[in-house]
Amino acid sequence: MTAKKVLVTGAGGFIGSHLTERLTKLGYDVRAFVRYNSHSNWGWLEKSPYLKKIEIYAGDIRDYDSVRKAMQGCKEVFHLAALIGIPYSYDSPLAYIKTNIEGTYNILENARWACLENVVITSTSETYGTAQFVPITEKHPLVGQSPYAASKIAADQLALSYWLSFQLPVKIVRPFNTYGPRQSSRAIIPTIISQILSGNTILNLGNITPTRDLTFVNDTVDGFINIAQTGKLSGEVTNIGNGAEISVKDLALEIARICNVKIKFQTSPERKRPALSEVQRLYCDNSKIRKKTKWRPQYSLEQGLRETIEWIKQHIDSYKPDIYIK
């Protein structure tokens, strides 16, 4: 394919770094937007084998001028930069408003004036809240059960308004729970794995009854690219998910089985969401992305977990399994 110039925001993060590398491998000319810091640390791109082919731009998604400069010369943008920790959104809702809503505005408004050909906005299955019907289609009601979810709903609606008002070619990508190498310990799978690999057989967890639809990061990234490349999904929301659900308890037991250990559970009150804020069930209907693109999930849960376990095993020193990270 031709070397189309694309901007990836949140490029140093978990999903963003995988997406940046995949786009580079496919032949895109990638500009990676990473958050400015005085150490010039580029997150997971620091040691990327593709680093010499990636243009790094350090800025702040909350800064309109920073985004404008980063977008110059680009034809497409994949917007992944966001605050994503749900527990921290209880402590600082305003930070989520400024980053997730204002940051998305900066992308949309600059993309509008730059006449971008493709604007891919990252949503989240948390915008659906607890499933009112399953599997969850893109027509499911939106319920902000946390400040994080509310900020993402607002960002999604703002993006769709730019399609309706200005015909900006916006596509909303709504991944269900993504996991895999490089994910931080604030997420449930690295939390479980790092505790087990550190020798803990009594796991410190929050609520273990909710169910989630888990998608390996390679499949999520493939979904982003398939949605971006099709001409059929502008002004629409598209789910990415495996189309299966598993409870947190059964997930932990599956990880323990793969690791060949026996575990017990201990509830940690600080890890539990407020009762009305807990999303009890997420289960994806992925029929739309299957119909509109060639995307199909390639990883079973066991395959994805084995790769994730092996990666965390090699990087266990970077995890702090005894500390609760919001």
Model pLDDT for residues 97-116, shown as the tens digit of each residue:
999 999 999 999 999 999 99
The reply to whether 128 and 155 lie within a common domain is yes
Q: DSSP state, 136? A: B
Residue 40 has pLDDT above 70, yes or no: yes
CATH of the domain at 147: 3.40.50.720
pLDDT per position as a tens digit, 251-294? 999 999 999 999 999 988 888 999 999 999 999 999 999 999 99
Instruction: Please tell me whether residues 33 and 170 are part of one structural domain.
Output: yes
pLDDT at 179 over 60: yes
Same domain? 162 vs 54: yes
Q: What is the mean pLDDT of the chain?
A: 96
* Residues 151-155, mean pLDDT to the nearest whole number: 98
> What residues make up the domain containing 308?
184-212+245-280+300-318
**224 and 264 assigned to the same domain:** no
Is residue 291 assigned to a domain?
A: no
| Same structural domain, 73 and 147 | yes
Is residue 292 in some structural domain?
no
d(CA 94, CA 62): 12
pLDDT score, position 2: 58
Is residue 97 located within the same domain as residue 229?
yes
Q: For the beta carbon of residue 75, count every other beta carbon within 10 angstroms.
A: 16
The reported pLDDT for the residue numbered 324 is 82
Number of separate domains in the chain: 2
Other Cβ atoms less than 10 A from the Cβ of 250: the count is 12
**Are residue 163 and residue 310 in the same domain, yes or no?**
no
Residue 14 belongs to some domain of the structure: yes
Percent of the chain with pLDDT over 90: 93
**Residues 38 and 132 reside in one and the same domain:** yes
Q: Determine the pLDDT at residue 268.
A: 87
Q: Is residue 286 part of a domain?
A: no
Is residue 285 in some structural domain? no
Is the domain of 150 the same as that of 206?
no
Specify whether 137 is located in the same domain as 259: no
Radius of gyration in angstroms for the set of CA atoms belonging to the chain, rounded to a whole number: 19
Domain co-membership, 220 together with 127? yes
196-236 pLDDT, tens per residue? 999 999 999 999 999 999 999 999 999 999 999 999 999 99
Asked whether residue 293 is assigned to any structural domain, the reply reads no
Residues 25 and 110 in one domain: yes
**Do the domain assignments include residue 29?**
yes
Give the pLDDT confidence of 123-149 residue by residue, as tens digits.
999 999 999 999 999 999 999 999 999
In 143-165, which positions are buried (b, 16+ CB within 10 angstroms) versus exposed (e)? ebbbbbbbbbbbbbebbbebbee
Model confidence pTM above 0.95? yes
Residue 95 has pLDDT above 60, yes or no: yes
Does residue 94 lie in a domain region? yes
On the question of pLDDT at 177 being above 60, the answer is yes
Task: Judge whether residue 119 has pLDDT over 60.
Answer: yes
Q: What pLDDT does residue 64 have?
A: 98
The pLDDT tens digits of the residues spanning 279-290 come to 999 999 999 999
pLDDT score, position 1: 46
Average pLDDT over residues 85-90: 96
Q: In a 10 Å sphere around its CB, with 0-12 CB exposed, 13-18 middle and 19+ buried, how is residue 50 labelled? A: middle
Residue type, 304: G
Give the CATH number for residue 266: 3.90.25.10
Question: By percentage, how much of the chain surpasses pLDDT 70?
Answer: 99
